[in-house]
Structure 1
């Protein structure tokens, strides 16, 4: 799918809509302004996916939402359970488990700040709302790029439900369903659940090792709606989920010297390396050569010695109370508690142990939102509120390097393979074997100290507490009958505290070789910052009933500590907040008696202080660092066309021009570079045709596609890990019985078997690239019973 084809297809569809009698496009109500409003009447760029659209699109996880929203991309540094979202070029570059994304995740208006709290949402949904642009006034910090709000289904005060069972390739099995009923004339309940299991689609040729990229997860939710009086509405939601599949594995793309950069040939090879020189037998089972991809291996195949299971388990409860104090005012209280555990073990996609990471986090979060909403007859209305949250996370992390490399060439794999290179680097006494290696390397003008930290497992552990207090006001004033001024501000105090911090280098046998960081050595252990976010906009309803608007929004992402500090206390120094000033001009218009809807926006961003991982080229110290500033300019369009009574088109188009104005990362000036996950052009298109079969029911024919221009995964715009332009096509066919009691569907995803990256890292110092790929062609069938 190229740009010319996409634009031609949309133009042809619009032409068809002008010549064929078609149904009106339905009104979509959203809660983007914390009021239930027509999406066409608010000056916010929002894409809403209804329950029917989610079903037809076969949205399986958060990563697939971006294919339906212009200027939205999602990468997967930790697999599909750890998505990093980019909206209009705003994303995060530090993937530490203690960090919060610059695009916020909400579930039923409850903020989910940590990845361990975000899984298990994609079932029994009423809709998904994606808000583009800063949302700091009503939603607070860490919504700099925008937010994704999952709205789950609640009781409808009827009795009934559904049950869906499905199968697919790679031995996919899934069951999901929901049931609701009245428990009394004032109390109703809805329970829903899902279970999915699938073998890994990335086949592993290493003997005895598991296939990767599997699915093994379940989730459940119960929603109680209690109406004690006509003026009080109470909703209690409790939920739990667990995922424990074989993890998402990297594909390893070695360089000329192989993955391992020739180190195995030097230290482990009995024929050409130092073992041959010293007459030492290499450790039993240790590889003697760097890794090269076997001939004929495809992107959906790997050869990795240890694919482990990731585990993400969480539970949550939220209480939403709405009290209509009078006809003019309502009071809303939303209280929530979440807990989650996450462990993500990552290998390197090779049979050697060049590098592996285990990220863990044990998180609890409490939030309270209290707000007063007016509904006055006059020109002025407002929302005023207070928000408090408290998050605590215990976050051990390990980064293990060359655990199968005999760096002191003594025929063993133990703590000395970590100690001797460090001793050589700092002029300390080495073991006899280490001294022998040092002398041999010195004759070649090298030193064992060049390999310091290789052979070590770098480990840290700490507790981080975040406390956030926000006071906010959001108001609107009718300047005229058709013109509205909207304005708002939020003041936020964030306190982030580090405690119990320790880090050290460990040998492959688990021995502590050297402690590197202790709590009392940290340069700072507390961040206490006060920031504001706000907005002002003017929107006008034209004589046609269409909306035009101009807006300014200020958003911010809080400062942070570096959760990947291993080597020196200075690495844990805090980084400043990110600040975004966003200017937007937009319109929302219906044409042809509401048979054609086009929403569009142009925007300009001044983005200061984006946070990046910075590796000092002289000391190898790894810190968090702000770049000076970036500029983002862009356009986007959402198009819906009722081509006939039975044929509906939905499409989106995005354009981005991102550029770093100034900044140095890892010793390299990145000025003029493109921001990460920011393709210049992107587009999506979908068609739904409902075919009536009379007494035989009906068939829905659905096809959708997404196309993205080239983009980069790092701020250095490294070509080796760039994603070239690509397209993905999906389809679904659903038969519904005449009484709508049964549905049978067949579906296919990535029907052209497109090969594309979802995340990649340049590890050329280790001899290659590590890349996550999107799932190849998948397909299946489902049976749904409605009752």
Structure 2
């Protein structure tokens, strides 16, 4: 055993200095040498080894995902946890905005669309309100970078974030419970139970309860005395029907309810001429005379049916997602009289939203070199939304604008895989999409609308992708991919000074190549990808600069390029590390494009003859050039269990908040870390741990209000807590 261990060490050292493509005769690993489990993904709508998929894709699952959600955070916790992914929101725990490779959309209007699609249990969550569904009882999260315009249903030119819930099974009763308590009485309770009902039926019930006390004192005459708390619960019930090996049906019903504080906008947070906090800043205090509240109720259901017909498999995916009520009201000027130039707060939301989708897909099961899949897709959304303005001094509503949007789309798609040889696989995909939106103003109170009260937009587009995967050896694959994507036109509501605005459809052409490898007898794996993309007519959101006015525009061209890399390894049997990083360069290329500036800021871009800021050459908003993430876990085996220490870190470089560059609106680089010390026993059945999130208490300005004074938003505070988990 000792001789084999020494031989193995020599082999590892030799492998480390040899070229990746070199053929090396490897001995079998020692019996006690751990190996990384094979990761399978459904990035191509089939279950495949992640190494074989010609797409830059990352996964989050198991312990790594559990650690991130332990502090009761919402879906924004995914920001920076894999290369090239950012998530932020000006609405707090609701309405997250996703960015992949710097490509996203800062639009905060009720009907905003995003170029990053979020898919939960094979059903697209199109409206931004739906994208914030909590993370619990999840089997896997996949981040698919670059255009996914042929196999996924809606608006995916930047990529897809894909969630898959744990599924019921008929094997036996099993489940887990997970309880944590942290700073500010942040409580997180999560549980799931799998219950076989018969040989053919099984049920899985999952639930989440989250709470945080209000802890930010409002020093303005005790109005809304304390803020920043929330209460949230979500449920999911699934039924599996599997009478035989040729058919199964999975039914899913889910809901979410949340209420608490809306995002806190802090007046004069940014020191003039810098991007530092103003003197005297204190996270636990705010001085505002406006009201602050947020509530949301959503529900949904889906049915996923599969027929195995021998030569082919047939899939039917039927989805419904609804918003029963959404309302968010915040003091956008951020302060009280004497601090800010005007007294205004806004409230907006949805009175109802109904989304239906249906997909039929058939895939081949050929033993030969050629396999294919094809299908049709239908999407329908009907939404009623509104925005209100209020006088912060009196609390009286000063205006009301209600709008309605009807969106229908259908698509036909197909893809082909052809094994040219044992080592070379070619793939190609094609999709035709037709998308139609009808938008109109339903009611306007104290809003004199300019222009027509309604518009209709319709656009059709063919997207395609071609890729190839080549096996350099049994452990190393190289791939290359060319892909296109499409996002349908977007429509924004009117206001007193801007009519209904329409942003034309945007398209992308992307080139990508990469290498994926298993290393050292699968004790490690690594991947690296490079990409280059051009977006034509990118949809951008412009805020008035000196007033609360938003409108949509198109940039003639946006350029992006970069590199992504990931690494995972057992350094020893007890020590495991992961690391990832990305470089994302973005640039707006449109010399004719200019925007109104915020008069309180120090603008760094040229000013044209009309006094507007020229944004040609600027990076996209919320697009850091550099991101890094890393985790490390060390385990000590004891007589009756295991003691472990785990730490995780994420870093992003500076970002622009808006389309123009200004000293005050450039967010500083940010590094956040977590630490977890715990003990598990009875074969991992039980675990107790102490944890910290943002352990260095990093405090950063992460967003601002464009049309106001130097009002901004900050990141989540440091947390310490304890957690207990059990499995049965």
Q: Deviations over 1:411-450 (max 9, x none)?
A: xx799xxxxxxxxxxxxxxxxxxxxxxxxxxxxxxxxxxx
**Paired residue for 2:403?**
462
TM (norm. structure 1) is: 0.81
Equivalent runs, 1:446-525 vs 2, <5 Å: 457-505=398-446, 515-517=447-449, 522=452, 525=455
Larger Rg: 1
TM-score by length of 2: 0.88
What are structure 2's unaligned runs of at least 5 residues? Answer: 1-11, 18-28, 596-611
Structure-2 change in CA distance of 1:202 and 1:532 (3 Å): farther
What SS is found at the alignment partner of 1:574?
strand
- Residue aligned with 2:522, SS: coil
Aligned to 1:87: 100
Aligned to 1:541: 471
Alignment partners' CA distance in 1, 2:139 and 2:271: 51
1:27 to 29, 34, 38: 38
Which residue matches 2:598?
none
**Given the superposition, is the C-alpha separation of residues 83 and 414 from structure 1 closer, same or farther in structure 2, using an over 3 Å criterion?**
closer
Question: Contact 1:611–1:625 at 8 Å: present in 2 too?
Answer: yes
> Does residue 231 of structure 1 match 2:246?
yes
The 1:212/1:16 distance shift into structure 2, 3 A limit, reads farther
1:597 aligns with 2:525: yes
1:77 and 1:621 mapped to 2: Cα distance? 16
Q: Is the 8 A contact 2:687 2:725 kept in 1?
A: yes
Alpha-carbon deviations, 1:234-263, whole Å to 9, x = none? 0001011100112221122268999xxxxx
CA apart distance, 1:306: 3.4
Q: CA deviation at 1:616?
A: 7.2
Give deviations 1:510-562, integer Å, cap 9, x for gaps.
xxxxx5128xx517521111112221111111124311111111111110111
Separation in 2, partners of 1:181, 1:560: 44
Query: 1:380-779 residue pairs with structure 2 within 5 A?
Result: 380-400=370-390, 403-404=392-393, 457-505=398-446, 515-517=447-449, 522=452, 525-563=455-493, 565-567=494-496, 571-614=499-542, 622-662=550-590, 663-666=592-595, 667-695=612-640, 697-763=641-707, 766=708, 768-779=709-720
Report the counterpart of residue 371 of structure 1 in structure 2: 361
**Alignment RMSD, CA only?**
2.6
1:325-364 to structure 2, matched below 5 A, reads 325-326=309-310, 328-340=311-323, 341-348=325-332, 349-352=334-337, 354-361=343-350, 362-364=352-354
Quick check: which one's strand share is greater?
2
- 1:73 aligns to 2:57 (yes or no): no
Distance 1:342 1:16, change over 3 A: farther
1:111-122 aligned at under 5 Å gives the runs 111-122=124-135
Cα distance 1:174–1:591, how it changes in 2: closer, same or farther (>3 A)? Answer: closer
Change in Cα spacing, 1:142 to 1:757, as seen in structure 2 (3 Å) is farther
Residues 692-720 of structure 1: CA deviation (Å, up to 9, x unaligned): 1122x112321011111111111102221
Q: What are the ranges of 5 or more consecutive residues in structure 1 without an aligned counterpart?
A: 1-13, 259-292, 405-412, 416-455, 506-514
Query: SS in structure 2 opposite 1:185?
Result: coil
Contact 1:173–1:198 (CA<8 Å) still a contact in 2?
yes
Per-residue deviation, residues 595-628 of structure 1 (Å, max 9, x unmatched): 2211110000101112223467899975311011
User: Which is richer in helix?
Assistant: 1
Matched ranges for 1:4-43 at <5 A: 22-43=33-54
The answer on whether the counterparts of 1:489 and 1:534 sit within 8 Å (CA) in structure 2 is yes
Is the alpha carbon distance of 1:216 and 1:15 closer, same or farther for their aligned partners in structure 2, counting shifts above 3 Å?
farther
Distance 1:617 1:34 in 2: 44
Match of 1:322 in 2: 306
- Cα deviation, residue 16, structure 1: 13
Q: 1:90 to 1:201 in 2, by over 3 A?
A: farther
Q: Distance in 1 between matches of 2:62 and 2:360?
A: 29
Could you say which residue in structure 2 is the equivalent of 1:181? 195
Rounded to whole Å, the distance in 1 between the matches of 2:203 and 2:395 is 58
Task: Find the aligned partners of 1:169 and 1:414 in 2 and give their Cα distance.
Answer: 33
Question: What SS class does the counterpart of residue 134 from structure 1 fall into?
Answer: coil
What is the aligned residue count? 673
